[in-house]
Amino acid sequence: MNHRAHLLAASSLTVALVLAACVPHRDLQPDQIDKLDKLAEVMDVQATVADPQFKKIGQSAYTDEDWKAFADMSNRLQATSKKIHQFTKGPEMDKLADQLNAHATKLGDVAAKKDAAAASETLAAMKATCKECHSKFK
Question: Rounded CA gap, 57 and 126, in Å?
Answer: 10
Q: What is the CATH number of domain 26-137?
A: 1.20.120.10
At 106-134, the pLDDT tens digits run: 999 999 999 999 999 999 999 999 999 99
Q: How far is CA 93 from CA 47, 99, 117, in A?
A: 17, 10, 28
The residue count of the chain comes to 138
Please check whether residue 122 is in contact with residue 110, taking contact to mean a CB–CB distance below 8 angstroms.
yes
What is the DSSP track for 57-113?
Answer: TT-S---HHHHHHHHHHHHHHHHHHHHGGGG--SHHHHHHHHHHHHHHHHHHHHHHH
Q: How far is CA 81 from CA 29, 56, 78, 98, 112, in A?
A: 14, 21, 5, 7, 21
At 55-86, the pLDDT tens digits run: 999 999 999 999 999 999 999 999 999 999 99
Q: What is the DSSP letter of 26?
A: -
Question: Domain residue spans in the chain?
Answer: 26-137
Task: Check: pTM over 0.85? Answer yes or no.
Answer: no
Query: How much is the pLDDT for 3?
Result: 57
At 80-101, the pLDDT tens digits run: 999 999 998 999 999 999 999 9
Distance between first and last Cα of the chain: 42
